[in-house]
Amino acid sequence: MGQLILGQLLNGAILGTLYGIIALGVTLTFGITGIVNFALGAFMMLGCYMAWYFTDGLGMHYAVAVLCAVLVTSFAGLIADQTLFRFTRNNLVNGLLVSIGLISVMEGAALLIWTSTPKNMEYVLPGVFSFFGLVVPKMKAVVFLVLLGVILATYAALTRTWIGRAAYAYAQNPEAAELMGVRTKILQSGVVVYSTGLAGLGGALYASLYSIDPTLGAVYILKAVEAAILAGIGSVIGSLFGGILLGITEGVGSIYLPIAFRDAYGLIFLIAILLFKPAGLFAGRK
């Protein structure tokens, strides 16, 4: 039993970083452009298919394929930003609805191109680590470490560099930041593109672990929004912890309760947090 729980803890934490990377995109986009980009799930799906296409279709090395997938997704994000999101800055309801329209378009296109048959990638990195009687596939460990590294690097960039200072300044007072020489238009587009790139990275890594289908984004964006709100929207490091907390609750919860309730934990968390601690668990620095 102890091992089972420990195993689920670990699994939950790994899945949690996947929630966390999308949640980070949600948080950043909300902080800088004032909208919640629900289409990040669709960008994650795009990242999945790109990674699959570059490795299985073009025969690239997986690591290169992930990089290419991130580039393609970011480029798609740039197009979406320039044609759509540019017009919905700081308009929450419109931004929400435009991103939802974009989901329909992207999912429909994916269904047309790749059909609804799930795709599986060849095993990129077979084999397992085993320690103390626990078995962790090597690939899962790599995904966990990469995502953790990217989230921490983003945190470092936002707290240690001038880009981060500009972003925080903008989040606090857009006009003042602009007067101080922050190029706000580029900052906003950059954040939207960066968050789609993060979603693409999450997707590209996801493709090596599970089978992929065009509608997988819906679950992940919902979980990511839950994680972001759980942590307190605007908190960078919180989105990581929010994601991991959600992943672990789901993992451990499914030992004791039927698996059907798996998706309910996040919802219950969400309602409880918004009612009793609306600023989130990691409220503080925005």
98 binds other proteins (CB under 8 A): yes
Structure tokens belonging to residue 92: 């929450």
Part in contact with other proteins (CB under 8 A); list of ranges 71-79, 156-164, 202-210, 270-278: 270-278
Q: Which of 102, 112, 101 is closest to 80 using CA atoms?
A: 102
A 10 A CB-CB count for 150 gives: 19
* Complex with other proteins: residue 182 or 229, whichever CB lies closer: 229
Helices and strands in the chain: count of H runs, count of E runs: 11, 2
CB of 212 to other proteins, least distance (A): 17
Binding mask 108-127 for other proteins (x = CB under 8 A): xx-xx---------------
- CA dist 106 and 194 (Å) reads 19
| 97 binds other proteins per the rule CB under 8 A | yes
Residue with tokens 């968050």: 195
Query: Which residue carries 């990195």 as its tokens?
Result: 125
Contact indicator for 273, 280 with CB cutoff of 8 Å? yes
The minimum distance between CB 94 and other proteins, in angstroms, equals: 5
CB 100 to other proteins: min, Å: 6
Minimum distance from residue 256 beta carbon to other proteins (Å): 16
User: What is the x/- site pattern for other proteins, positions 124-143, by CB under 8 A?
Assistant: --------------------
Contact predicate 140/247, CB 8 Å: no
Asked if 57 is part of the footprint of other proteins (rule: CB under 8 A), the reply reads no
User: Rounded to whole angstroms, how far apart are CA atoms 82 and 86?
Assistant: 6
Stretch that binds other proteins, among 18-26, 45-53, 97-105, 173-181 (CB under 8 A): 97-105
The sign one gets for the Cα dihedral 204, 210, 215, 217 is negative
User: Where is 1: in which H helix or E strand?
Assistant: none
Cβ of residue 38: shortest distance to other proteins, in angstroms?
10
223 vs 217: CA distance, rounded Å: 10
Question: Does the protein bind other proteins through residue 78 (CB under 8 A)?
Answer: no
Query: Is residue 92 at the binding interface for other proteins, with CB under 8 A as the rule?
Result: yes
For the CB of residue 261, give the shortest distance to other proteins in the complex, in Å: 7
**15: CB partners within 8 A, 6+ apart:** 247, 250, 251
Q: Which of residues 228-257 bind other proteins (CB under 8 A)?
A: 229
Question: Which residues in the 33-52 window bind other proteins by CB under 8 A?
Answer: 36
On whether the CB atoms of residues 26 and 246 are closer than 8 A, the answer is no
Q: Give whichever of 110 and 150 is closer to other proteins, judged by the CB atom.
A: 110
- CA dist 205 and 66 (Å) reads 7
Give residues in contact with other proteins (CB under 8 A).
36, 84, 87-88, 92-94, 96-98, 100-109, 111-112, 218, 222, 225, 229, 258, 260-261, 263-264, 267-268, 270-271, 274-275, 278
